[in-house]
Amino acid sequence: MYDLNEPNEVPSITGAGAAAYVDPAAEFRARLAAITPELFVAKILIAMNAVVFLAGVVSGVSPLEPTIDSLIRWGADYGPSTIAHGEWWRLFTCMFLHIGIIHIAFNMFVLWQIGPFVERLLGNMGFLIVYLVSGLAGAFVSLAWNPYVVSAGASGAIFGLYGALLGFLSIRRDSIPSEVLAPLTKSALVFLAYNLVYGLLRTGTDLAAHAGGLAAGFLCGLILSVPLTVEPMPRRGIRNAAIALGAIPLFIGTAITLPRPIDLQAEIKTFSDVEKRTLAAYNADLKQAQLEKSRDDQLADRIQKDVLPDWVAEHNKLAALKGLPERPRAVVTRLLTYMDARQQGWLLLIQALRKHDINAVRQANIKQHEAEQLARQIAATH
């Protein structure tokens, strides 16, 4: 029974005695901010990518469609240079080099979107380690899969960030509120699915680098998945060191075991030099024969001596290249077809001159015309 003379406290759902509602997502973000107060690594990485791109454009690299030569010159990953010539620094520089403004714009937009959250989640140093290890792993997988691909871009490292997020969530899912977890998981899966489909439909996409970065990032995420508590603070240092120190011997061992590819770009340059020198010698012999009114057999001897030796030697050198993948092998096959046509034309001309056979001279000219058409076709595909 209530005593109406005594004051009675009646609980109120709106009064001071009620427990205040705490938004789980807001509380989680506040906790992350307390664990990792400052964000700067993702911003620095974006700035570095932008500076490298602008520096390339200022130096003359096309902002829309940079050439293969310009990409290699600026540090793209290319097996014959990276492996055969020992330019291992390309594994690092290729992460900050992009193939046109659309490429860098897309990658930096994604990095701006996912970077800050993953940096809060893993810590500044953990974020940097995952980014670099994933990028290097992607470059190594690309070399192992096809060393003749000219690879550049931050995609492998960015895939590594998504891999690290998925690795972290696979163990610490209960530490992230569903209000945050659901959109994160959806965003990661959409990104991965989109890039998979886009890579399969668009030729030239380095899917091997994407897969390598994703796998490396996932493993890093498993290792770095610590409880997200402010007290005590997460002990990230040992785990960061374990990843960094473990990656070094793994990468060194991979570098040692990678097969040494043929430097096809160097071979093509050598061929180009031989072609210029040989055609110049042939034209010089024809001009000298006209000026001196040489006999047909004398012109034949000059062509035999000045033109054929270097040409035949280069032809045999290219024909001896073995173990090339499909696309580089197709390039060499086209060059050999062209060289065969040139060589047959010169041999027919030599025989015609020695036999004084005007019809055979016409056949030799037809063969040379065929070679010129092949040369134009090759030039149009490069």
Tell me, what CATH number does 67's domain have?
1.20.1540.10
User: Per residue in 357-378, pLDDT tens?
Assistant: 888 889 989 998 999 999 898 8
Nearest to 241 by CA among 115, 111, 128: 128
Residue range of the domain that includes 48: 24-257
138 and 231, same domain (yes or no): yes
Per-position DSSP letters for 227-249, written without gaps between them: ---SSSPP--HHHHHHHHHHHHH
pLDDT at residue number 19:
54
In a domain, 15, yes or no: no
In a domain, 11, yes or no: no
State the chain's mean pLDDT as an integer.
87
Boundary of a domain, candidates 233, 257, 281: 257
In a domain, 137, yes or no: yes
Number of domains in the chain: 2
244 and 301, same domain (yes or no): no
| For the chain, percent of residues with pLDDT exceeding 90 | 54
250 and 315, same domain (yes or no): no
Look at residue 339 and tell me whether its pLDDT is greater than 60: yes
pLDDT at residue number 95:
96
Boundary of a domain, candidates 196, 222, 257: 257
Catalytic residue among 142, 155, 225, 315: 155
Known catalytic residue at 155: yes
Give the residue-averaged pLDDT of 309-317. Answer: 94
The lowest-confidence range among 65-69, 91-95, 148-152, 198-202 is 198-202
State the pLDDT confidence band at 173, using cuts at 50, 70 and 90: confident
d(CA 225, CA 68): 40
103 and 179, same domain (yes or no): yes
83 and 216, same domain (yes or no): yes
Length of the chain: 382
Catalytic residue among 134, 210, 225, 315: 210
249 and 276, same domain (yes or no): no
250 and 364, same domain (yes or no): no
Boundary of a domain, candidates 234, 257, 280: 257
37 and 171, same domain (yes or no): yes
pLDDT at residue number 207:
87
In a domain, 1, yes or no: no
